[in-house]
Chains A and B, each alone.
Chain A
Amino acid sequence: MNRKMVFYMFGRIGQIAALLLLLPAVVAIIYGEYKQLWAFLITAAGAVAAGTAISLLCRTKNKVIYAKEGFAIVSLAWICMSVVGAMPFTLSGEIPSYIDAIFETVSGFTTTGASILRDVEALSYSMLFWRSFTHWVGGMGVLVFVMAIVSNMTDRSIHLMRAEMPGPTVGKLVPRGRDTAKILYLIYIVMTVVQIIMLWVGDMNLYESIVHTFGTAGTGGFGIKADSIGGYSSYSQMVIAVFMLLFGVNFNLFYLVIIGRFKSVLKSTELWTYLGIVAVAVVSITVNILPLCGGVGDAFRQAFFQTSSIMTTTGYSTVNFDLWPSFSKGILMLLMCFGACAGSTAGGLKISRVVILFKLFLGEIRRMLHPRSVSSVKFEGKAVDKQTLDSVAVYFAVYVFCIIAAFLAISFEPFGFETNFSAVLATFNNIGPGFGAVGPFGGFADYSGFSKIIFSFAMLLGRLEIFPLIIALSPSTWRKNR
């Protein structure tokens, strides 16, 4: 274990966190919120001082990192960002309990969007801005951001990318890791700006457009109104619904569109499966909720928005879907687990894993019928190698174990099965709202501090896809090099 390099990077992340805190500080100045401004500046100063000290102490010539260092760096980075990012909430007194603040920040960075706030409209502009900005940063990844701006870190930066980018396999777009990170962020920024403009021309003001765009881009789902998106015009709702879908698409496909390889995009199994699932879900829900709505158009709009929001693990809502019939709720619960495409900002299992798992299942049945048959699982036109297949199957098993474990840990709470179970699904898959007490118009405020820590951990596990955190927490990883 190259501990020095791990802590060096840890220090650098502290500095990056401070840099990011300057943006809400500017917002605080614009709105004249000086108490909040101090909270941001003090936190930023502390993070810069600590980060610089650590990175200076741990400077090392040996910059080689292997897979385990990559996992450790990414896990530490996320914990560091959450701990630092929670400070302003408590310092300014807007979320007095630090555990609550941690929950809120983790929920932000992991693009979950679950909240402990009872009255979100009581928060100041700058705090709400910071809360949503964490979505934007967490969506594409902190380390990918670091890779894009820090020059020439190390040859083996692929380990960092692999640990942070969601999906069963991670490929580069261009030869150099740093350029790949830059391209990803460029696409991300351009799409963000387009959405801000499109919302701005509707009935949102600039502040609202920016905040809601951050929530959409990271597929997070923090709103600034008690009824989420419900109060805005149907134009704004449709813009957000469509952009949620777009941010749930694998970013590699956008790059292929830019360089003009449309054919490869149209051949993507994952994209078509993703759109297919959305279409089926929207039609079924529309038919199912028709009696509750004012007409087919209204039913379709609500079904489309909610499907898009849940499938991409965003968690915005236009209606209280907790009041929908069980069939629709069942579909939404299934979509929660599926998630969107690999290589996007969404959480969940990811469509590519779902497709591979389904094909594994079909292959297993065929093998039982024809014990000597030889078959291979193909995905995106290529045979998937055995290692990837194994890791997908194991990931699914661990995913189920983790959900069960988290569910058991919070089952002391005085809530019903539906609330508790959907709360675990909603945090682990980085969605935000669940059903029952944690439904779209409810929240996590009534859970105990212990459960909030469990939820925070579940959110991190879900965002980093379980293994990095587990590896970073196991003592054998940290054994020192002689």
Chain B
Amino acid sequence: MKMIIVGCGKIGASIISSLVGEGNDVVAVDSSPSVIEEIGNVYDVMCVCGNGADTETLEEAGVSKADLFVAVTNSDELNMLACFVAERMGAKHTIARIRNPEYNDKSLDFLSKQLGLTVSVNPEWMAAKELFNVLKLPAAVNIESFSGGNLEMVELRLKQESILDGLSLIELRRKYKAQYLICAVQRGEEVYIPDGNFVLKSGDKIGITASGSEIQKLFKMLGLDQKSAKSVMILGASRTAYYLAKRLLNSGNRVVVIDKDERICRAFAEELPDAVVICGDGTQQELLLEEGLGSVDAFVALTGLDELNILISIFAMSQNVPKVISKVNRNELAIIADKLGLECIVSPKKTVSDILARYARAINNSQGINSIETLYRLMDGSVEALEFNVSKDFKGLKTPLKDMQLKRNMLIAGIVRGRKAIIPGGMDEILAGDRVIVIVSGNQVIDLDDILE
């Protein structure tokens, strides 16, 4: 698979890392020689220095034979133009990052069609969506949904002296008869795909698949908070903050937004008149307390500076805010933040590289039969959750799961038939037309047939 990435900033580098890791031939294009040299030093890619919308540069990058063309420079307009030119020059699929809210309303469809875009990605919008989901269920670390919300995957950390401590998965199932499956466990640095004899411990981060209502029951049983966050304080009036505040306000929550820049605050207030917009320095603890940090249900730090987000979040935690989320873009910092006890980290670039990895595999599998519907990377990227459409040619049709020879470190975590979510047991079978959720660690799966021995 030949792919071209234009723009090698934070998002670009993360995409390159993910695509090279999957074994694709990647050409990186950037207009800055120093950026492109650094990329060439770190990743096994070909580097072209130049303007991504310039035909000569694109020709040098080999655009006519490219299967996937991704434009993620920081200018929306350049991304659109680059994709347009690339498509005309023969690139098979083009993906542009378009994040200006003005382009992302009704005009987006028209633009995409005219430019021949395969898809447009808006990392900030996606990050806001993810944040919104977590704020709906504050006790979870992370929530991903499959097949339009029929099945959800929740990551949560077991508290000290959790009632699940010391329980093996078989006992757990027998004792609570609940319809959910623990499909991944992170303990320290190690990640396990557990079998029935796996014993849980306090402090584990576990991934659970279940339908929405079952998750509510489970949280009740674990004594976790089920109420969604009603009042939210957001630091930094960034694009992500805009999308998040809009969603929160639409579902009737209270939102306070704090930013230093008066011009940005004014624009924000014009767009979202229902939000309380405070123009002030969010690093001043006094200001945060004055605006009611002590009484909000959740605090979200969304400034452009990872370090600032982490520090202010720690302060918010010390004020006993029930849910604190900070945006961290750099992986190294995310790991450190995790060690400091900050649990919820939403990074837009991770969301985008997940989506691109799915696209790359879907294109790779264009002759394949069982198409990938969604792909999430869980537990800091070491585990993948994939959703497949099962075709009638799947090799494991109508075999009870207990007889199916799966490869190591794989697990079928859920089956969605029609609108019904099935948490599979040994006797369940996969039928054509189902959607199957597979949890995989350390392997690359392109087709559903890949999971079989």
Contact = CB atoms under 8 A, between A and B. Distances in A.
B218 interface: no
Interface string B17-42: 00010000111000001000000111
Interface in B391-447: none
Which of the four size classes fits the interface of chain A? 10 to 19
A115 B419 CA distance: 81
A390 interface: no
B40 A174 contact: no
28 contacts: A66-B41, A67-B41, A155-B20, A155-B43, A156-B42, A156-B44, A157-B44, A158-B40, A158-B41, A158-B44, A159-B41, A171-B46, A173-B46, A174-B25, A174-B46, A175-B2, A175-B25, A175-B27, A175-B44, A175-B45, A175-B46, A176-B25, A176-B44, A176-B45, A177-B44, A178-B44, A179-B25, A385-B33
B351 to A, nearest CB: 23
Interface in B327-355: none
Contacts of A173: 46
Given A155-B44, A176-B25, A179-B25, 19 more contacts: A155-B20, A156-B41, A157-B44, A158-B41, A158-B44, A159-B41, A171-B46, A171-B47, A172-B46, A172-B47, A173-B46, A174-B25, A174-B46, A175-B2, A175-B44, A175-B45, A175-B46, A176-B44, A178-B44
Contact of A155 (B33, B42, B46): B42
B437 to A, nearest CB: 30
A218 to B, nearest CB: 27
Interface in A147-162: 155-159
Which 8 pairs between the two chains have the least Cβ-Cβ distance?
A: A175-B25, A175-B46, A155-B44, A172-B46, A177-B44, A175-B45, A175-B26, A385-B33
Contacts of A156: 41-42, 44
A431 to B, nearest CB: 32
A66 B38 CA distance: 11
A176 B33 CA distance: 20
Interface of A is mostly: loop
Interface in B263-287: none
Contacts of B40: 158
B307 to A, nearest CB: 25
A184 to B, nearest CB: 14
A177 to B, nearest CB: 5
Interface string B39-68: 011111111000000000000000000000
Contacts of B20: 155
Interface in A166-198: 171-179
A336 to B, nearest CB: 33
Residue of B26, B41, B42, B44 contacting most chain A CB atoms (<10 Å): B44
Contacts of B41: 66-67, 156, 158-159
Contacts of B42: 155-156
A268 to B, nearest CB: 14
Nearest to A155: B44
Contacts of B45: 175-176
Contacts of A157: 44
A173 B47 CA distance: 10
A157 B46 CA distance: 12
B59 to A, nearest CB: 9
A171 B46 CA distance: 8
Contacts of A172: 46-47
A174 B47 CA distance: 9
Nearest to B48: A171
A66 B45 CA distance: 16
Contacts of B46: 171-175
Contacts of B44: 155-158, 175-178
Contacts of B26: 175
Residue of B20, B43, B45, B46 contacting most chain A CB atoms (<10 Å): B46
A172 B26 CA distance: 12
Contacts of A179: 25
B288 to A, nearest CB: 39
A158 B28 CA distance: 15
Contacts of B2: 175
Contacts of B33: 385
A178 B27 CA distance: 15
Contacts of A178: 44
Contacts of A66: 41
A175 B45 CA distance: 4
Nearest to B27: A175
Interface in A63-78: 66-67
A178 B45 CA distance: 10
Contacts of A177: 44
B68 to A, nearest CB: 13
Contacts of A171: 46-47
A66 B2 CA distance: 26
A158 B47 CA distance: 11
A171 B20 CA distance: 18
A66 B25 CA distance: 22
B387 to A, nearest CB: 29
Interface string B191-215: 0000000000000000000000000
A393 to B, nearest CB: 18
Contacts of B27: 175
Nearest to B21: A155
Residue of A159, A173, A174 contacting most chain B CB atoms (<10 Å): A174
A446 B400 CA distance: 83
Nearest to B2: A175
Nearest to A383: B33
A9 B276 CA distance: 61
Contacts of B47: 171-172
Contacts of A175: 2, 25-27, 44-46
Nearest to B37: A387
Nearest to B59: A261
A67 B26 CA distance: 21
A156 B42 CA distance: 5
B65 to A, nearest CB: 10
B9 to A, nearest CB: 19
Contacts of A67: 41
Contacts of A176: 25, 44-45
A183 B33 CA distance: 26
Nearest to B28: A175
Interface in A304-356: none
A155 B24 CA distance: 12
A171 B61 CA distance: 12
Nearest to A159: B41
Interface string A273-291: 0000000000000000000
Interface in B362-409: none
Contacts of A158: 40-41, 44
A299 to B, nearest CB: 44
A67 B42 CA distance: 10
Nearest to A67: B41
Nearest to A382: B49
B6 to A, nearest CB: 14
